[in-house]
Amino acid sequence: MFKNIVFDIDGTLIDTEKAYMNSLLEVLNDQHHLDFTYDQVVTIFGIPAKEGLESLGIADKDIPDIMKAWYAAFADFADLAGIFDGIINTLKTLQTFDVDLGIVTSKTLAEFKSVFDPLGLTPVFNNVVTASDTKQHKPGPEPLLKMIEISDIPADQTLYIGDTKYDLDCAHGAGVKFGLAGWGAHNNGQFQDMDYFLSRPAEIIDLVR
């Protein structure tokens, strides 16, 4: 059924929530003397940084400096990040099937190289689409449409696995089935239209047998 299994990164392949959110809190509260809580900032986890900061009410003029400081601060919390349990074994098993493995992420190419590459998983994937590859980003369909184009595998044979409503909307906008990464998602009822609920990574294998 599926010939192209495509993954989001944050909250899906790697657990970076605490690292990203605590580094953002340090920048917003300690450096800019604001008063955000973890519960407030975690609502932007997994969406493009600029759009997320805008949704928190950060002024446009301040966003570039905050983004730069945020990425710098991430290094102080990098030890909180890691690959989700079960991901490595699942990827190894998927490689034994006649499927392509891909990544569609809101990270820029530079962010992808600095955060994801060091984990050693990049060679597993046939195709990668970052935010540097498209003009429009999630929740629009363009990133997955780009994946369909470069993989030459049609939408009806593609499964996108992610952890946010942005991922779901991107998938369905591109005519792609969506599997919710239950191990990383904050499910507050916003995933009513998901096609598959995956409680652990190994369940992906059942969809390609």
Is there a contact between 168 and 180 (Cβ–Cβ < 8 Å)?
Answer: yes
The pTM of the full predicted model, rounded to 2 decimals, is: 0.88
With H, G, I as helix, E, B as strand and everything else as coil, classify residue 125: coil
- How big is the chain, counted in residues? 209
Q: Which of 103-117, 123-137, 138-152 has the lowest mean pLDDT?
A: 103-117
Percent with pLDDT over 70 in the chain: 100
Question: What pLDDT digit, counting tens, does each position of 150-203 carry?
Answer: 999 999 999 999 999 999 999 999 999 999 999 999 888 999 999 999 999 999
Q: What pLDDT does 120 receive?
A: 93
Return mean pLDDT, the chain: 94
Looking at residue 84, what DSSP letter applies? P
| Residues pairing with 6 in the sheet | 102, 160
